[in-house]
């Protein structure tokens, strides 16, 4: 599960996690929107010392307006994984992302889930971040990684 396009560092990291073992990926892209509160994102930005980012949180497209950029980010990420030699498919998930994650894990008979996000300190503190919530839902190990910046 991702929330922004994978960087080349992200791709290298996830494709080499298990050494030379070939991995295939089902990528779920969670666009910005109703799932993440603007205030919480602004607090996270402030905690990271990113004052300009905190001020811009209200200007970011959300909900339905974020779908187009999420689809583009997903396609870029899938192509990067394929270029690295992995099989990769995916989809944008706007509603009930944890339910969708559970069904993908079951359908694909996945060995693990990787949640690749920016740090979300407030949500993590209260165990409301995607990885913490997924651990209680999917029935396989959940690895939380912090995405690289571009």
Closest-CA residue to 94 (of 6, 31, 44): 31
Residues 54 and 45: their CA atoms lie apart, in Å, by 5
Tokens of 65: 């307006």
Cα angle for residues 48, 50, 51 (degrees, 5° grid): 130
* pTM of the complete model: 0.77
pLDDT tens sequence across 71-109? 999 999 999 999 999 999 999 998 888 899 999 999 999
Give me the CATH topology for the region 8-146. Rossmann fold (3.40.50)
**Residue 146: what pLDDT?**
82
**Statement: residue 35 has pLDDT above 50:** no
Pairing verdict, β 87-92 and 24-29: parallel
- For the chain, the domains span 8-146
For residues 105 and 35, which has the higher predicted lDDT (pLDDT)?
Answer: 105
């Amino acid at each position: 599960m991702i929330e922004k396009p994978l960087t080349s560092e992200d791709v290298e990291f996830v494709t080499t996690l298990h050494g030379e073992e070939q991995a295939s990926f089902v990528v779920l892209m969670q666009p910005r929107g109703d799932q993440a509160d603007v205030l919480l994102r602004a607090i996270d930005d402030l905690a990271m010392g990113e004052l300009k980012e905190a001020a811009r949180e209200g200007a970011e497209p959300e909900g339905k307006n974020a779908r187009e950029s999420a689809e583009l980010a997903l396609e870029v990420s899938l192509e990067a994984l394929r270029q690295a030699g992995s099989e990769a498919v995916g989809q944008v998930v706007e509603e009930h992302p944890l339910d969708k994650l559970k069904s993908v894990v079951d359908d694909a008979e996945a060995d693990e889930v990787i949640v690749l996000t920016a740090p979300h300190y407030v949500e993590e503190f209260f165990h409301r971040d995607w990885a913490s919530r997924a651990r209680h839902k999917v029935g396989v190990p959940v690895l939380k990684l912090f995405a690289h910046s571009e």
